[in-house]
Amino acid sequence: MANNPIGMNKLRHILRLHTQGRSKLIIAQQTGVARNTLKKYLKEFIASGLSFSEISELGDKDLEDLFIKQEDKPVNQKLLTLFTLFPAMDKELKRKGVTRALLWQGYKNTHPDGVGRSQFNHYFALWKAQVNPTMHIEHKAGDKLYVDFAGEKLSIVDKQTGEIQQVEVFVAILGASQLTYVEAVMSQQKEDFIGACESALHYYGGVPAAIVPDNLKSAVIKSSKYEPVLNEAFADFAEHYSTTILPARAYRPRDKALVENAVRIIYTRIYAKLRDTIYFTLEELNAAILLFLGEHNSLLLTGRNYSRIQQFEEIERAALAPLPPLRYELKKQIFVTVMKNGHVSLNADKHYYSVPYRYIGKKIKLMYSRHTVDIFYHYERIAQHKRMKSPYNYTTDKEHLASAHRFVSDWTPERFLGWASGIHEDVHLYILKILDRKQHPEQAYKSCVGILSFAKKVGNERLIKACQRALGYGMYNYKIIQRILEKGLDKQSDEENEQLEMPLHDNIRGEEYYQ
């Protein structure tokens, strides 16, 4: 360095001119500094690894410490040594419980003549800004996974028609290791979004403490600074994987800077490599993406001597929670009203499920997947059943029914047919016709109870004849049996009945059908 150090304002002027691309000759002429001295200052500037904007933020004392030697030994040699330690320190800082104070103490133990704690923090911040200027948040291992969709889409081509179809690109990145996951999906709808999130978790082989989405409709129904409203399917997905959803705050770019920076990088490292190939299916496209993604995650990080995958394996994989044994099943939801018999109908299967009787008449929510049916009232789950796809049947938990109505849970077609067979085969046939023709099980069961109860009121013989006559009419309901018995038609002879006005019906077969 020069025997007579120059002033800090002149040093800033030299560095500014150098940054603007001026030659050493021009800089020497404008500043009056000897060219050899100028070369030494510029050499120190380049060796520092700092940008001019970072240099300009330093006070005169810090700038002097960085560039001017004292007692024939340049103080900036300490800084150069310190800067070489920062990559390993940055990796350690991502471990839980590790702080800058602990790192500085370890540094001082091995370098007693090193910089003080305030200077250590200052230069560490400068180094962080240089190697990762868009992200200044300290990320702990296993803490957060940031997810978003890229702004630019990719495409696949239909082999048959040649039609080009645009597809969305999902991007996820772990905060600590920056290990990135990319997948092409058909849409940003919740089914595709949740499926991509799940694929990311399985790519990482574990679950972070929180997932941070941007305010996508697939993730957040209503954004809020204090209590955002999550999409219920996404919240259910998070519960299945025992993680938390922390939506990025609106107008807080630092909350999503990491994933946005990842998107910019994949444009260069993945999109550019896909541009000359035509892909006909989503599977083909994702296979290519996965190949280039592996290359991206294996490249060394800027200013560090390790890659994303190396950092992940060393500090973050073990910090992730284990995956659950079963994958998540996306659930659909509908709102229905509880019927008077304490059951609700899942229209997709035409099957009925019980709920606690105190919710009769209430509007409740059904969330169902391929295997389960969950029933909610005011966000509280009040019942859960195994999904059954047998139409017009009931799945009943007897504990849900009021004591006076628990016998209803025993109503089955087999019970009514057995009851009818005990009276007569024609009564059995009539009950079978009712069960076959009623669209609503509850209507059929009530009709069966009403008809079979006539046996106690009028006797088996009259009920048998009433059923035989109703079969002749081709009419199958409780009211026709009631009318026959009330008018005594079961007691009249066939000749007398022929003189009566018979109801017109397409299905009348005549008494000979049953001879």
376: pLDDT strictly greater than 90: yes
* pLDDT digit string, tens, across residues 209-247: 999 887 666 666 555 554 455 677 788 888 899 998 887
Confidence (pLDDT) at 183: 96
How confident is residue 47, by pLDDT bands cut at 50, 70 and 90? confident
Closest listed residue to residue 352, CA positions, set 391, 408, 406: 391
Residue 62 to residue 256: CA distance in whole angstroms: 33
Share of the chain above pLDDT 70, in %: 80
Report the length, in residues, of the chain.
515
Compute the C-alpha angle 358/363/365, nearest 5°: 105
How confident is residue 495, by pLDDT bands cut at 50, 70 and 90? low
Determine which of 372-381, 394-403, 468-477 has the lowest per-residue pLDDT on average: 394-403
514: pLDDT strictly greater than 50: no
* pLDDT digit string, tens, across residues 156-182: 998 888 899 999 999 999 988 889 999
Confidence (pLDDT) at 39: 86
* pLDDT digit string, tens, across residues 259-276: 888 888 898 889 988 988
511: pLDDT strictly greater than 50: no
* pLDDT digit string, tens, across residues 10-40: 888 888 888 888 888 888 877 778 888 888 8
Confidence (pLDDT) at 181: 96
Q: 468: alpha, beta or left, given left = phi > 0 and alpha = psi -120 to 50?
A: alpha
* pLDDT digit string, tens, across residues 80-139: 778 778 877 877 776 766 788 888 888 888 888 888 888 888 888 777 766 554 444 567
DSSP state for residue 214 in the 8-state scheme: -
> What ranges in 299-440 are assigned the alpha helix state H?
308-311, 413-421, 425-437
All structural domains of the chain, each given as residue ranges with its CATH number in brackets, are: 8-131 (no CATH), 144-319 (3.30.420.10), 332-405 (no CATH), 411-514 (no CATH)
* pLDDT digit string, tens, across residues 423-439: 999 999 999 988 887 65
List the 394-395 sheet strands across, edge first. Answer: 343-346, 351-354, 394-395
Would strands 69-70 and 343-346 be described as parallel, antiparallel, or unpaired?
Answer: unpaired
Confidence (pLDDT) at 408: 54
Residue 24 to residue 147: CA distance in whole angstroms: 47
* Average per-residue pLDDT for the chain: 80
pLDDT higher for 269 or 500?
A: 269
Confidence (pLDDT) at 42: 85
Mean pLDDT within 316-329: 91
Share of the chain above pLDDT 90, in %: 29
Secondary-structure breakdown of the chain: helix, strand, coil percentages, each rounded to the nearest 5 = 50, 15, 35
How confident is residue 482, by pLDDT bands cut at 50, 70 and 90? very high
Residue 17, amino acid: L
Is 262 strand, coil or helix? helix
497: pLDDT strictly greater than 80: no
The backbone torsions φ and ψ at residue 194, rounded to the nearest 5 degrees and listed phi first, read -65, -40
323: pLDDT strictly greater than 60: yes
